[in-house]
Structure 1
């Protein structure tokens, strides 16, 4: 049975969302508690899946890539699970999100800055989506805020 998330858990996640490299001792100092309490809470949050991953936000422009968000609409009756499993295998697909609304999936990819390569990548991706009804693309120029908690 999952424990309820409390104010302290949210404080931990808020600090980590800003800097995932903070260690237990630093977290304890920032939150005015003990390292052991922080360790226990983080282990529980990870075990229960509340915290899924610690990550970085790269500057794709400096790396020579474009970051593209693609909204995917699929025809009714199409197996979304099968599409998700297929997209998970693509190394260029960095994020797959289920959605409710005009699009059933939002997929984030990285692609070389060359427009012909981007066109090729998007065409390859579209062939992997069985029951594709439509795709809308947005080229992300900058991540100005990325804060989940």
Structure 2
């Protein structure tokens, strides 16, 4: 595990909220000059702490305001099935999160679409070439909290 000090945590906290902040503004906020601040960012990127910088979009404004959580129980538990399932799921742009789970659900997907009809088309693509024991879809009624910022209290 990489050593992350108080200044690194401050840099990461700020960058998680606004990755477009200038180096000089970031450096000022963490009480460093620009060069040492930039070196810290480069080290955090090299070590893989900072994986990438992205732009977050408003789902409503790009017409994908319906979120569906899909819990899947697999029909089979072998590598060939998993590779095929992985290929099917990762090829679907509507699937924005994909997890292998413990417990009763084998896989959990988060899917974003414009409406129920669009989800039905995604569902049909999902089941077209794969066998499942069970698929359970739940539609999010309201998004109460969404953040991409990870807690830094454990570093």
Report the TM-score range of the alignment, normalised by the length of the smaller protein.
0.7 to 0.9
**Over aligned residues, Cα RMSD in angstroms?**
2.5
Q: 1:99 to 1:63 in 2, by over 3 A?
A: same
| C-alpha separation in 1, matches of 2:89 and 2:75 | 17
Instruction: Give 1:121's aligned residue.
Output: 122
- TM-superposed deviation, 1:28: 0.8
Following superposition of structure 1 onto structure 2, how do residues 2-41 of structure 1 map, counting pairs within 5 Å? 3-41=2-40
Q: Distance in 1 between matches of 2:19 and 2:41?
A: 12
Shift of 1:132: 2.5
* Distance 1:3-1:103 versus aligned 2 partners, 3 A rule: same
The aligned runs of 1:125-144 (5 Å cut-off) are: 125-127=126-128, 130=130, 132-140=132-140, 141-142=142-143, 144=145
- Alignment coverage as a number of residue pairs: 146
Tell me: CA distance 1:111–1:38, structure 2 relative to 1, closer, same or farther (3 Å). same
2:91 to 58, 67, 89: 89
Moved over 4 A (4+): none
Bigger radius of gyration: 2
Question: Which structure 1 residue ranges, 5 or more long, are not aligned?
Answer: none
Tell me if the contact between 1:84 and 1:96 (Cα under 8 Å) persists in the aligned partners.
Answer: no
Tell me the TM-score normalised to structure 1 length: 0.77
How far apart are the structure 1 equivalents of 2:138 and 2:15? 28
Match of 2:42, SS state, is helix
